[in-house]
Amino acid sequence: MVDTNNAEGRKRVLVLGCTGSIGTSTLDIARNEPSYAVCGLTANRNAEKLALLGAEFSCPTLLASAVARDGLKDAFASFIAETRPDIIVNGIAGSAGLVPSIAALEAGVDLVLANKESVVMAGPLIFALAKKNNCRILPVDSEHSAIFTLLRQCGRENVDRLVITASGGPFRTWEKERIKNATLADALKHPTWSMGTKITVDSASLGNKGLEVIEACRLFGFSADDVQVVVHPQSIVHSLVRTRDGAIYAQMSEPDMKHPIISALSYPAVRENFMKPFDLTDFVCGETVRTLTFEKPRTDAFPLLSIAFGAARTDGFAPIAFNAANEVAAGAFIEGKIGFGRIPEIVGATLDAENWAGDVRDLKDVFESDRRAREIAAGFISGS
């Protein structure tokens, strides 16, 4: 039986960032699940692919790079009004995802949120907006999707710790000095997930895990001291929660982003779908039984993780500064301007450069501190 969210009996889905990794997974779901109708698509620069997808799904498209920067919010708001979605998937990479998230929530539409930067930069502001307009924010990061479900199952009041798993990335076993000199090609060899360039580099530095720690604190109302990161190279356990009686509950599936996206799209229902159900005996490959392993993160070799915990503890403007400095530093590494080892140095130096504590009152505050942190980080890069 399909959802009856609209006259045609199909849930209308607007996909922001349809040409990227999350967008592609979302469109795969739409191709396979007749209960969803893609009603609109956006991209930034890839006009050719956007046009092809627009033709395939017979829906309007929006190319963000064709819109003047200060007109973006209005452009997204008009596009939402034109396409009349029941739900919006935000798969835009980086801080550029924040304005579209706001446009979605201002329109009162449920938001399937892969763009973690929206929460890291402006969590309290977007939660207040969602509450005011009576719509939901449904997390898609696999870890946060797992925790979201586990908190529902266990009862938020019974949980005293969140345990976020990390694959450890391609440098999990590398010596500290070798990591500092890693190339872009090394960083892009993610062992378990296939994702966009920026998040893959962040996964190699554990900067992505740092963003996820901040995201988890904000989404679920936990302090940084009640969040733990555990390295789990197989990426089968997506996260865990510990209840007050000391037991730990885990959520497992194959590492495929279609699982958390389906879970968010169908929320609050939990339904059969086209994906292969998870089966522990699938681990048996010939004679070899695959095992699940867990280890402590090597914070000495991956300093960005500790820097992110520090930013989560400071709260206020520090998460904004962490995200902005990391975007600048990771971007400079991708462009070949700095070595891999400089990424945590630049982020750490940016956070140390100012007092980032304080109350973030509105979006103006968010954008001003984002701009300031980028300026500081860029200064460290040009001085290096």
Q: Which two tokens stand for residue 11?
A: 């849930």
Is 116 labeled as ligand-binding?
Answer: yes
Minimum gap (Å) between residue 77 Cβ and ligand NDP: 14
The answer to whether 12 touches 86, Cβ cutoff 8 Å, is yes
Q: Which two tokens stand for residue 348?
A: 């750490």
- Cα angle vertex 9, ends 4, 11, to 5°? 75
Give the residue with the Cβ less far from ligand NDP, 226 or 256: 256
Q: In sequence order, what are the beta bridge partners of 11?
A: 36
Is 212 labeled as ligand-binding?
Answer: yes
The answer to whether 384 touches 332, Cβ cutoff 8 Å, is no
Is 209 labeled as ligand-binding?
Answer: yes
Give the residue with the Cβ less far from ligand NDP, 5 or 193: 193
Minimum gap (Å) between residue 244 Cβ and ligand NDP: 29
Give the residue with the Cβ less far from ligand NDP, 26 or 350: 26
Is 141 labeled as ligand-binding?
Answer: yes
Is 106 labeled as ligand-binding?
Answer: no
The answer to whether 95 touches 327, Cβ cutoff 8 Å, is yes
The residue ranges that bind ligand NDP (CB under 6 A) are 17-23, 43-46, 64, 91-93, 96-97, 114-117, 141, 193, 195-197, 199, 257
Minimum gap (Å) between residue 166 Cβ and ligand NDP: 13
Cα distance between residue 236 and residue 142, in whole Å: 10
Does residue 54 sit in helix, strand or coil? helix
Is 142 labeled as ligand-binding?
Answer: yes
Minimum gap (Å) between residue 117 Cβ and ligand NDP: 6
The answer to whether 363 touches 336, Cβ cutoff 8 Å, is no
Minimum gap (Å) between residue 289 Cβ and ligand NDP: 27
- Cα angle vertex 123, ends 120, 128, to 5°? 170
Strands (E), the chain: 11-16, 36-43, 61-63, 87-90, 110-113, 137-139, 159-166, 227-231, 237-243, 248-252, 284-285, 288-289
Is 90 labeled as ligand-binding?
Answer: no
Minimum gap (Å) between residue 63 Cβ and ligand NDP: 7
Give the residue with the Cβ less far from ligand NDP, 10 or 319: 319
- Name the residue whose CB lies closest to ligand NDP: 20
Is 169 labeled as ligand-binding?
Answer: no
Give the residue with the Cβ less far from ligand NDP, 209 or 372: 209
Minimum gap (Å) between residue 198 Cβ and ligand NDP: 6
Give the residue with the Cβ less far from ligand NDP, 80 or 92: 92
Residue 132 main-chain phi, psi, to 5 deg: -60, -40
Cα distance between residue 140 and residue 258, in whole Å: 9
Give the residue with the Cβ less far from ligand NDP, 110 or 327: 327
Our CA dihedral for 62, 66, 67, 68, rounded to 10 degrees, sits at 170
Residue 53 main-chain phi, psi, to 5 deg: -70, -40
Strands (E), 208-281: 227-231, 237-243, 248-252
Residues annotated within a binding site for NADPH: 19-22, 45-46, 115, 117, 196
Residues annotated within a binding site: 19-22, 45-46, 115-117, 141-143, 167, 190, 196, 203, 208-209, 212
Residues annotated within a binding site for 1-deoxy-D-xylulose 5-phosphate: 116, 142-143, 167, 190, 203, 208-209, 212
Residues annotated within a binding site for Mn(2+): 141, 143, 212
